Structure 1
Amino acid sequence: MTIKNIPQESGAPGAPGMESKWSSSAKSGIGKALNASSNVTLTISHGILNEAYYPQEDIACMRDMGFIVTDGHEFFSEEKRDTRQTISTIENGIPAYKIINYDTFDKYQITKEIIVDPFRNSILQQVTFEQKDKNLPLQLFALLAPHLNNEGSNNTGWIGEYKGVPMLFAQNGAIALAMACSAKWLKRSAGYVGTSDGWTDIRQHGIMRWEFDHANDGNVALTGEIDLSDQDFVVAISFGRTHLEAANHARASLLDGFDTAKRRYIEEWKNWQESLYKLPAQNFMISAAMLRMHEAKNFPGGIIASLSIPWGETKGDADKSGYHVVWPRDLVESAGGFHALKTKADVSRIVNYLMSTQNANGSWPQNMWLHGEPNWNGLQMDQVALPILEMLKGYLRNTIGKHRMTRYWPLAKKAIIFLLVNGPFTQQDRWEEESGFSPFTIAAEIAALLAGAKLAEINGEKDFAIYCRETADCWNETIEFRTYVTDTPLARKIGVEGYYIRINPFTNIPASELGNRTMELKNHHYGKGTVKINELISVDTLALVRFGIRDPNDPKILNTLKVIDAQLKVNTPHGPCWYRYNNDGYGEQKDGDPYDGTGIGRPWPLLSGERGHYEVAAGNIEYANTLLQAMDGFANNGLLPEQIWDTHDIPEKGLYFGEHTGSAMPLTWAHAEYIKLCVSIHDKKVFDMPEQTQERYLLKKKIAKFQIWRFDNGIKTIPKGKTLRIETFAACTIHWTDNDWKTTAIKESKSLTIGVFATDIKPENKESSSLQFTFYWKEADKWEGKNYLVNIDNS
């Protein structure tokens, strides 16, 4: 679109601009000041600034900011697309960055140091622009795409001054932005992206011909030509509640000077890192910094999953959250990283945040904005279990004192009760897709019940503790019944007796009876996600070892490992990595195009860390080290991605075998796993394996006295000698028989004071082959009108 004869001091035409999109999730740097005076976080990708977050870490406020260079005629070079880039931290482990962007035609070089002003809401770039040919009439333009308040649309941009200082401004709601430069602005303009913005202008004309003073309510861009009389200058991008507040931060940052801000920024990071436990692994300290930067300043302990939006260049305003929201699971995983760093204050903040965001019913949201409002509405039982484990861990490691525990215990008990009432079935597994019985979720739930029992004892509730342990024992003995299959075609192909499956979606069908039943996996076009349930394999089985539920040398675990490696392992140039499960659909398309709701799942580096922890448990420290080094190889300038590319290179799409895809990067969970693996290898034992499960199931080999029957989870068979525990959610009288109603016994249910009523029945006849029973409901004053049967296995 060509726009001619536009007068000066005018509004930009072409509203509202093209549809807005976010930027690449392939970050190579994250920056944030530790000082409480600054509430800005920056991200870097492709040699330029990407999203900035303000006033908190779940609110993105910028798509990107980079430079364009022209000669005023034919030469047009965009920094993020037309340069070779190098990036490094200014000091090891400190998230302050030096970037050198080399023009592919060798006409110029841009060197930048990038930090956040620790005293203000300003991102600072100290820039050196170097012309290789001094005779070329090169011109330099700064382009900034405001996406304030998590929106690319509804932004207003304009040019103006603050106390005589020329700046460029943008605002959306109660968030404003100002861009200022220590060098002179030769020209400035605000326009609509794709129609009247600076990029369109410069691409068409080689120079800035348009100088629009404002562009209202649209997808806008700010453009300024920088005077190159001094080729060293500082650009400040500042934020505030109003444009005047942002402008003041920008001017003050420039007057204070880049070196002052840089010195204080680095000093504060060094002081924090000096307080940490350290190991000499390649990415140990930068991983610690990644965890710290993802914590919200205004919501202490709230750690978002990633300062990125997966495949962001394809996502618009309909995807406001990306990964910059809180998943309780990822948050607890991050807490584990802080435990490994031996920093009690960070862990204490996380536990307090978990307690403050707990739902009224004792659960936690699938994920949530920092203030606790749910973003997605699924229920994942591991995200109820893991906070309970974290509570006990914090208490035992003295990050939660007795007085604080007094305040937390009523909330922790609500979570335990929710787990007891609703588990072990989960509406969604940890991959947020399928419902049923999952080895990972069950392992987390059992460990949480034992942790809950310990918390109950600490708080003087011994009967409740006993019930938690008895239930954990029952659930433990159903793991194979629910999820272990034998003599399948896949088992015969690989040469094993059987293996654990990813999930069993049926409450009343044991794994051994799944047969040819299928399920339709998410993230596929209809029909392409169809799999046989008993051949759906996942790395989640490793959780049975990680949580201390099963021995690493258990034959069933070893069988499953063979199947996992046959089905899910990929050897990359950096080392082994694993897919989440077979026929995963969450990843790029076959040709490398971005995930669009369907795709092909790629390997996850954090799973190399989980496998490394299995190897530590099994005593294979050398292989665990190999997997740690693989994680180092998967990192991009120290940042660990969610997924890596698993096939031949596609350079034009930025995809290289063994390196990051367009999914989230960095992923806090992956960095926490890396730190924990470093510590586990150093200690030669799994750092975060719960002591309660190890003692009860691996050392004492505790056997359950009961088998639990519920209406929503009715078992079909109990072993001889076991007591049948019938659990209901209302008081009842149970009429039962162990001799096909020749005689009848009557037993009253017992209230457990948590909304659950238990009735324990043990056969009186040693030759009984079944128990049959029915219910009389006291409050409703009616009979169930149906008999139920549980067989007794006398073999």
Structure 2
Amino acid sequence: MEKHIPQPSGKAPAPRWRSPAWASARKDMVGTALGASRLWFSVAQGIVSEVYYPRLDIPQLKDLGFIVADDQGFWQELRRLPGYTLEFVAPGIPALTIRHQHPRFSLRLGICPDPQRDVLLLDIELDGDAALRPYLLAAPRLGGDAHVNCAWTDSWEGRPLLWAEQGPFGLALMCADADGLPGFGMRSVGCVGESDLWQDFDRHQRMTWEFTKTDPGEVALAGELPRRCTLALGLGSSKEAAATLAWSALMQGFESAWQGQCEDWAGWQKNWQQPPALAALPDAARQLLQRSASVLKVHQDRTYPGAVVASLSVPWGESSSSQGGYHLVWSRDLVETAGALLAMDKLDDTRAILCYLIATQQADGHWLQNQWLGGKPFWQGIQLDETAFPVLLAAALHARGALAQIPVHDTVRRALNFIVRQGPATGQDRWEEDAGINPFTLAVAIAALVEGGALLEGRERDCALMLADYWNARLEDWTWVEHTELARSLEVPGYYLRSAPTDALCHDGARHEHLLIKNRAIDPDLPADEQLATDFLQLVRYGLRDARDPRIVASVTAIDKLLKTDTPNGPVWHRYNGDGYGEHADGSAFDGSGHGRGWPLLTGERGHYALLAGEDALPYIEAMAAMTGSGGLLPEQVWDTDPIPARGLYPGQPSGSAMPLVWAHAEYIKLCLSHAQGYPVDRPVQTWLRYRGQRPHIPYYLWRLKQRLRNLPAGKELRLLLHAPARVHWGRNGWQEIADVDTQDWGLAHIAVLPTMLLNPGDTLEFTLYWPDSGQWQGEDFQIRIVLNMAV
């Protein structure tokens, strides 16, 4: 059958298929300028990948790559050419030279943003066979949409260019040769998969098409370049604005931009000096520390100061259709990042984050699961730790005397009110999965109650501390199990659960119902007491339990046996057994299910535990430094089983998950600084002073409508915690000696105290509630039995 070849001019044919929406997540570099520019970019597979403008959450380009070809049938796409090398000016300065080597040619590609304009500059030099020429191929995603209104080849004030436009955004590609003259040769615009440059070379082994315009759709831009030239990608509010910026940048020159970028970033780096105690770190570890600081800075937005996205990448981007990726804000990741910035004495950046969080707090006191930079919700889950973390940030700045008049009382009070109402169970854990009572979430919530309570006064403070002590005292009642089949197989007496089901609160200890494991296609249901995670380590990090507590030691032994993988680059831990978030066994991309891999972030958390246990944290620092990609960035996950070279997967090296993960870089910074300091730099001050690793002994138990005790240890006082004024009508042993007690307003809740200390084991307590605001009775009676003890 004869293949139809479109005419080499006019309008490009419409596409018959859609390509992946995003680029590879395995980034070689992420970058931005420190001047007036509002452009961010990343590099992957040796070419430019996503470009963002004018905010960190608005991608405008999927990738900008190159083909090197002659007119005799030879062509080579650079992103498919292995073995390129990366040359950085210095660790953490986002200006990069890439060298691609082939038997017939070498191509040098310099990449640098214009510090003063919304322009990305690429300096290109092709050496070797004189018959070869470079060609660019670019995939616009204006406004993050694969559907672009239109693309053209045109000329702007007599200068040839390529441009595209969609809604309020315009993109222009312009080229200047070595003499500063317009450098484009042939140009074409096409539809991806049908009439783009790659299809042209695949069908004809050379560039034959010169389409001048496309219909709306998934467009591609292409152009023939001089062997020595500078290419400018300009972005603006229109295609004309983008072209003006692009040519202005070309006239100022690549070297000027390069020098300005390097000087600006070198000056920024000088503002923070690594502690002298870290001078003994290996070179790779110190370089990663410097690079990590820059990664945190790169991921900060300018339109919304204080907003930091989780990553300038989309996990498994080549197979993803997500419109969000990781260029969104999670309050948890944001505060984890702020903790590293605060430890580095970046007080202005830290305060900006707190102000951003105050502005985006919801009316009921919580923060969204994640959001676009302007505050628009993306996912809709409720994660209790994401409400607790901003309180810890406010308290940490307060402890440093660095709040600088930022009013935090209302924010803290509303956040604690939400925690009091919703806790101790969370709608989702920190991995955005199961509801339940999770040790990590609970540790953060308890710390928030203590730290936030210190910022309040009177009964509000008393209420926060009362609840913090109660949750801390009952942690093991809810989340510790013993003598399970898993414990026997791991040869430990017991361990902290990954999460206890929420209805454990209505019983007197952890329940063993099944918890659904998200992202796991096979056998997604496992008993709660057979699920083990690293999350309990936060109990030690925040000072709620001692590192040498027998239950902590047993749980550490368990995770080291079950969740740890030793790779050639060091040990790495899985989030929990049965995790389904990662590549499949054959290395194919996560597609809603898969097999979770090791997280360098968790190596950092395990390193913090080692520090508190009196061990050396340096092996964990070195392991994290060894798990970076070729550009020195930390991934979300590393491959942790047999290598699959065809997919670029090797043990201890980045998988296709997000890279860089800003949270991982923040954790690395904190681990290094904690190593120098001798204890975690983000340990909440008041929480440590209150508990010092010891489980508190409390003289009371709490009853709530959502947490209905059935048993009360003898000698304990019963306190009812309610969210509205009430009268408690109560009696004992079958409604004898009836009495009434009115609740008192403790600011964050209404509390009624019943004098139950003199009741004996076997006695019963009966009560009901009258609500004066509505004039109604609860309509049900409650009974609590007095027991000898409820110890775990």
TM over 0.5: yes
Sort the Cα spacing of 1:515 and 1:503 in 2 relative to 1 into closer, same or farther, 3 A.
closer
Contact residue 147 and residue 155 of structure 1 kept, 8 A: no
SS of match in other structure, 1:652: helix
Give distance in 2, aligned partners of 1:270 and 1:97.
Answer: 14
- Deviation (angstroms), 1:99: 0.8
250-259 or 745-754, which moves further after superposition? 745-754
Letter in 2 for 1:192: C
Give distance in 1, aligned partners of 2:158 and 2:355.
Answer: 47
1:292 counterpart residue number: 297
Letter in 2 for 1:50: S
SS of match in other structure, 1:540: coil
1:307 counterpart residue number: 312
734-743 or 427-436, which moves further after superposition? 734-743
Correspondence list, 1:384-783, <5 A: 384-401=387-404, 403-405=405-407, 408-456=408-456, 461-508=457-504, 517-525=513-521, 528-621=523-616, 624-636=617-629, 637-698=631-692, 702-754=696-748, 756-763=749-756, 765-769=758-762, 770-783=764-777
SS of match in other structure, 1:562: helix
Question: Once the two structures are superposed, what CA deviation does each residue of 1:261-307 show, in whole Å capped at 9, x if it has no partner?
Answer: 11111111111111113245230111000000101011000000000
Answering whether residue 156 of structure 2 is matched by residue 162 of structure 1, we say yes
1:337 counterpart residue number: 340
Question: Once the two structures are superposed, what CA deviation does each residue of 1:141-194 show, in whole Å capped at 9, x if it has no partner?
Answer: 111111111111234211112211111101111111111111221100000011
Question: Once the two structures are superposed, what CA deviation does each residue of 1:18-54 show, in whole Å capped at 9, x if it has no partner?
Answer: 345211000010110011x201111000100000001
- Deviation (angstroms), 1:780: 3.4
1:126 counterpart residue number: 123
Gap runs ≥5 in structure 1: none
- Deviation (angstroms), 1:699: 6.8
2:363 counterpart residue number: 360
Contact residue 574 and residue 596 of structure 2 kept, 8 A: yes
Question: Once the two structures are superposed, what CA deviation does each residue of 1:80-120 show, in whole Å capped at 9, x if it has no partner?
Answer: 002421113222321111111112xx111111121110010
Sort the Cα spacing of 1:79 and 1:61 in 2 relative to 1 into closer, same or farther, 3 A.
same
Letter in 2 for 1:351: L
Give distance in 1, aligned partners of 2:208 and 2:693.
Answer: 78
Give distance in 1, aligned partners of 2:347 and 2:83.
Answer: 42
Contact residue 486 and residue 512 of structure 1 kept, 8 A: no
- Deviation (angstroms), 1:360: 1.1
1:190 counterpart residue number: 189
- Deviation (angstroms), 1:513: 6.0
- Deviation (angstroms), 1:369: 0.3
Give distance in 1, aligned partners of 2:163 and 2:502.
Answer: 57
Contact residue 506 and residue 706 of structure 2 kept, 8 A: no
Give distance in 2, aligned partners of 1:764 and 1:523.
Answer: 48
- Deviation (angstroms), 1:452: 0.9
- Deviation (angstroms), 1:695: 1.6
Give distance in 2, aligned partners of 1:426 and 1:5.
Answer: 58
1:277 pairs with one of 273, 276, 284 = 273
Question: Once the two structures are superposed, what CA deviation does each residue of 1:653-676 show, in whole Å capped at 9, x if it has no partner?
Answer: 121111111110000000000000
Contact residue 772 and residue 787 of structure 1 kept, 8 A: yes
- Deviation (angstroms), 1:389: 0.5
Contact residue 771 and residue 778 of structure 2 kept, 8 A: yes
Contact residue 299 and residue 308 of structure 2 kept, 8 A: yes
2:380 pairs with one of 341, 363, 377 = 377
Letter in 2 for 1:188: R
SS of match in other structure, 2:163: strand
1:98 counterpart residue number: 97
331-340 or 734-743, which moves further after superposition? 734-743
Correspondence list, 1:103-182, <5 A: 103=102, 106-131=103-128, 133-134=129-130, 137-182=131-176
- Deviation (angstroms), 1:760: 0.9
Give distance in 1, aligned partners of 2:563 and 2:506.
Answer: 24
- Deviation (angstroms), 1:506: 2.9
- Deviation (angstroms), 1:511: 8.8
SS of match in other structure, 2:80: coil
Give distance in 1, aligned partners of 2:7 and 2:779.
Answer: 83
Contact residue 6 and residue 13 of structure 2 kept, 8 A: no
- Deviation (angstroms), 1:777: 2.6
Correspondence list, 1:44-55, <5 A: 44-55=43-54
Q: CA RMSD in A?
A: 1.7
Sort the Cα spacing of 1:768 and 1:513 in 2 relative to 1 into closer, same or farther, 3 A.
closer
Contact residue 449 and residue 472 of structure 1 kept, 8 A: yes
Give distance in 2, aligned partners of 1:33 and 1:722.
Answer: 61
Give distance in 2, aligned partners of 1:16 and 1:358.
Answer: 45
2:18 counterpart residue number: 18
Contact residue 425 and residue 436 of structure 1 kept, 8 A: yes
- Deviation (angstroms), 1:766: 4.2
- Deviation (angstroms), 1:768: 4.8
SS of match in other structure, 2:27: coil
Quote the sequence identity (%).
38
2:283 counterpart residue number: none
Letter in 1 for 2:460: F
Give distance in 2, aligned partners of 1:71 and 1:324.
Answer: 39
Give distance in 1, aligned partners of 2:148 and 2:593.
Answer: 30
- Deviation (angstroms), 1:549: 0.6
Give distance in 2, aligned partners of 1:4 and 1:695.
Answer: 76
Letter in 1 for 2:419: L
Give distance in 1, aligned partners of 2:545 and 2:536.
Answer: 10
- State the TM-score, normalized to the length of structure 1: 0.94
SS of match in other structure, 1:368: coil
Letter in 1 for 2:591: D
Sort the Cα spacing of 1:731 and 1:14 in 2 relative to 1 into closer, same or farther, 3 A.
same
- State the TM-score, normalized to the length of structure 2: 0.95
Give distance in 1, aligned partners of 2:247 and 2:4.
Answer: 34
SS of match in other structure, 2:737: coil
Sort the Cα spacing of 1:617 and 1:6 in 2 relative to 1 into closer, same or farther, 3 A.
same
- Deviation (angstroms), 1:226: 1.3
Letter in 2 for 1:215: T
SS of match in other structure, 1:130: strand
Contact residue 170 and residue 176 of structure 1 kept, 8 A: yes
- Deviation (angstroms), 1:17: 5.6
761-770 or 689-698, which moves further after superposition? 761-770
Give distance in 1, aligned partners of 2:523 and 2:101.
Answer: 45
Sort the Cα spacing of 1:514 and 1:475 in 2 relative to 1 into closer, same or farther, 3 A.
closer
Letter in 2 for 1:792: I
Question: Once the two structures are superposed, what CA deviation does each residue of 1:246-272 show, in whole Å capped at 9, x if it has no partner?
Answer: 101110111001111111111111111
Give distance in 2, aligned partners of 1:213 and 1:66.
Answer: 20
Contact residue 20 and residue 317 of structure 2 kept, 8 A: no
How many residues are paired up?
772
